Structure 1
Amino acid sequence: MLARNAEALYWIGRYVERADDTARILDVALHQLLEDSSVDPDQASRVLLRVLGIEAPKQELNVWSLTDVVAYSTDNRGGSSIVAAITAARENAKSAREVTSSEIWECLNTTYNALGERQRSAKRLGPHGFLSFIESRAAMFAGLADSTLSRDDGYRFMLLGRAIERVDMTVRLLLSRVGDSASSPAWVTLLRSAGAHDTYLRTYRGVLDASRVVEFMLLDRLFPRSVYYSLRLAEDNLDELVHSPQSRIGATAEAQRLLGRARSELEFVQPGVLLESLESRLAGLQKTCSDVGEALALQYFHVTPWVAWSDAGAGLVSRQGDA
């Protein structure tokens, strides 16, 4: 597979997951701001922007200005807003049409073309409809990817991007709750933001406790949005991409080593001590996501510059040009 196509598919997976997770998080946050008058809108909005890695504006924030920044901003640096993420996913799909299905392209293109109308409607009726639209289109995209793509390298790159982005977003959510009391209602907000509330209640028989919430979001082996599950998914897809037998000594690639180390550290940690070192553990996972992205770029996406040799009389001179 061409490096540019592999990179495009990887970032399609990341951007669609980012749009989906951002819509979920923003929807829950807006409901909390509207329903709880004791919450300071400006402070809560700045906490949310910090979680999402978006630079906060200088003016005071409220429900509407927060939605403008997180949902509708067209600043495409890093695809931080929902509109920017969908736009970036569509542009990557446009550049890799030969390795995506027509159904996936139509899904992303239709979603992109509907953003303007949905945004205008949301400004009249409220943002919930816009955010629900993004969540449903992301679910449609995931279903189409699973049902129309061959399980080849392209599919693996897309799943790899989705899994790494999901780890990063879940870690950001948990970082926002570091220092909260064990009985804080913010833990319920966290579960709802991750789409994990109902599953958590069924798993722990309705008992809500901060240590169990952290345990569930970090270590659960069955919930698809837990950090452990996503790391395992990323690791399995990367193993499929390598297409080589396991090395007798260690991992065969840097990205494999990083994912395997992060997964094993979670796999064998004692659940009861998670809250004691939560911030440092989450910071380490966030750095792992960044390092894995860089390692994948070096291993698969960066093209080696071409080298031309010429006889300059005194010897051979190497000229390097951009690939």
Structure 2
Amino acid sequence: MLVRIAESLYWTGRYIKRAMYLAKFMRVQYFSTLDASMALNIEFTLRSILNMAGSTHDFEKELNEQEVLVKVGFDLENPASILSTIVAARENTRALRHVLSSEVWESTNVMYHLLKIILWTISSKEDFMSSPPK
């Protein structure tokens, strides 16, 4: 039983770190597209964001910034998206509520609900990227 708890805690930490690093990477890469002078550089940057998230993409299809940000940020069908990793972390902490402090569960749950609110209120990629860095 102790091994199962330790493993769940390990994966919870991994999921949260993955979401955090992916969000930072997306933000940096997005702002680098604003400095890119050629369409080829923008395409390269969008592909690097998809690759970092482990997403598959068709090389023949032209990439759209909005689609990439949604796929990497909020696509539940993409197991490496920010929202998917937070959902997985939340499920792990929910299963361990009896051994965790209430603060750990509440923090994970609040993070999950904030992402859901962001998902419903974002109307454009500019809204998504304009939030202040943490």
Q: TM-score range by the shorter chain?
A: 0.7 to 0.9
1:275-295 CA-partner distances (Å, limit 9, x unpaired)? xxxxxxxxxxxxxxxxxxxxx
Between the aligned partners of 1:131 and 1:74, the Cα distance in structure 2 is: 24
Between the aligned partners of 2:100 and 2:63, the Cα distance in structure 1 is: 40
Kept in 1: contact 2:74–2:119 (CA 8 A): yes
Kept in 2: contact 1:22–1:82 (CA 8 A): yes
When residues 131 and 53 of structure 1 are mapped into structure 2, their CA distance, relative to the original with a 3 A threshold, is farther
Identify the residue that residue 128 of structure 1 maps to in structure 2: 129
Kept in 2: contact 1:89–1:108 (CA 8 A): yes
Deviation at 1:30, TM superposition (A): 0.6
Mean CA deviation greater in 98-107 or 19-28:
98-107
Between the aligned partners of 1:64 and 1:72, the Cα distance in structure 2 is: 11
1:248-279 CA-partner distances (Å, limit 9, x unpaired)? xxxxxxxxxxxxxxxxxxxxxxxxxxxxxxxx
Between the aligned partners of 2:129 and 2:17, the Cα distance in structure 1 is: 18
Deviation at 1:57, TM superposition (A): 4.7
Which one has a bigger Cα radius of gyration? Answer: 1
Identify the residue that residue 15 of structure 1 maps to in structure 2: 15
Between the aligned partners of 1:122 and 1:57, the Cα distance in structure 2 is: 26
When residues 12 and 131 of structure 1 are mapped into structure 2, their CA distance, relative to the original with a 3 A threshold, is farther
Deviation at 1:55, TM superposition (A): 1.6
Sequence identity (%): 33
Report the TM-score when normalising by structure 2.
Answer: 0.84
Deviation at 1:5, TM superposition (A): 1.3
Amino acid at match of 2:18: R
Kept in 2: contact 1:16–1:86 (CA 8 A): yes
When residues 67 and 76 of structure 1 are mapped into structure 2, their CA distance, relative to the original with a 3 A threshold, is closer
Between the aligned partners of 2:115 and 2:58, the Cα distance in structure 1 is: 23
Identify the residue that residue 56 of structure 1 maps to in structure 2: 57
Amino acid at match of 2:72: V
Query: Are 1:83 and 2:83 counterparts?
Result: yes
Listed as ranges, the gaps of 5+ residues in structure 1 are: 137-323
When residues 32 and 39 of structure 1 are mapped into structure 2, their CA distance, relative to the original with a 3 A threshold, is farther
When residues 71 and 83 of structure 1 are mapped into structure 2, their CA distance, relative to the original with a 3 A threshold, is same
Identify the residue that residue 95 of structure 2 maps to in structure 1: 95
Deviation at 1:76, TM superposition (A): 5.3
Q: With CA pairs under 8 Å and 6+ residues apart, which has the higher RCO, 1 or 2?
A: 2
When residues 47 and 60 of structure 1 are mapped into structure 2, their CA distance, relative to the original with a 3 A threshold, is same
Amino acid at match of 1:64: Q
Deviation at 1:122, TM superposition (A): 2.9
When residues 131 and 64 of structure 1 are mapped into structure 2, their CA distance, relative to the original with a 3 A threshold, is farther
Deviation at 1:130, TM superposition (A): 5.9
When residues 8 and 128 of structure 1 are mapped into structure 2, their CA distance, relative to the original with a 3 A threshold, is same
Query: Are 1:72 and 2:85 counterparts?
Result: no
When residues 9 and 131 of structure 1 are mapped into structure 2, their CA distance, relative to the original with a 3 A threshold, is farther
Provide the aligned C-alpha RMSD in A. Answer: 2.2
Please show how residues 221-300 of structure 1 align to structure 2 within 5 Å. none
Between the aligned partners of 1:117 and 1:11, the Cα distance in structure 2 is: 24
1:215-259 CA-partner distances (Å, limit 9, x unpaired)? xxxxxxxxxxxxxxxxxxxxxxxxxxxxxxxxxxxxxxxxxxxxx
Kept in 2: contact 1:12–1:92 (CA 8 A): yes
Listed as ranges, the gaps of 5+ residues in structure 2 are: none
Identify the residue that residue 34 of structure 1 maps to in structure 2: 34
